[in-house]
Amino acid sequence: MRLFTRDHVPCVLDAIAHKVQTFADEPDRRLCVLTLRVDPCDRELLAALGALELVCGLQSQPRPYLRRVDLAISLEPQDLDVRYDPELPRLTIPDARIGLVSIRVDDDGIVSALVRATVINAEPAILAALCAWHTETRAVTFAPAQPSLFDEADSAPTIRRVGRPVG
């Protein structure tokens, strides 16, 4: 199952946070938490995310009272294929765990989505590429890290609404 069913989603890497998890009987895990912003998130991208009906309903514009919706999406780890330039080779970030997707609507009705992805024990080359990507727009394709036994067209991601609309 993919987070976005569309390829080459334009994403800006807004923030990179580094953490270390320590366990008593396991080696330390280095975590890299990425905040990806999809801005603007049009109707096609909302449909690819599976949240078009939640944000827009039957209307062509977002609901007028809606400001923010947090979605807890349960997916298997995703491989992020990042394209800098069509002629250059792509960067693949393996096994990114998608935690929270937050959809925001500003006063002008422009929809944006924030995606939190966690990468565990990233290699130094990937960390250097992430630092080069910071605050720039790249085309990202989300793909499952392990192939699924089920057809993607038959199933949709599990979406649970976390927050209430403000307004």
The residue extents of the domains of the chain are: 9-161
- The residues, any chain, with a CB within 8 Å of residue 162's CB and separated by 6 or more, are 69, 70, 71, 72, 100
φ, ψ of residue 94 to 5 degrees: the values are -85, 150
Q: pLDDT (tens digit, 9 = 90+) per residue, 110-161?
A: 888 999 999 988 888 888 888 888 888 888 888 887 754 544 444 455 555 5
φ, ψ of residue 126 to 5 degrees: the values are -70, -40
Percentage above 90 pLDDT, the chain: 12
HSE, CB side, 13 Å, CA atoms: give it for residue 12: 11
Q: pLDDT (tens digit, 9 = 90+) per residue, 16-33?
A: 998 888 877 888 888 899
pTM of the model: 0.77
> What's residue 58's pLDDT?
76
d(C-alpha 6, C-alpha 164), whole Å: 27
Q: pLDDT (tens digit, 9 = 90+) per residue, 49-106?
A: 888 888 887 777 888 888 888 887 778 888 999 987 766 678 888 889 988 889 998 8
Q: Other CB atoms closer than 10 Å to residue 111's CB: what's the count?
A: 23
d(C-alpha 128, C-alpha 60), whole Å: 41
Write the DSSP symbol of residue 60.
Answer: S
> What's residue 17's pLDDT?
92
> What's residue 47's pLDDT?
85
Instruction: Give the pLDDT band (50/70/90) at residue 164.
Output: low
- Compare 9 and 64 and report the one with higher pLDDT: 9
> What's residue 154's pLDDT?
46
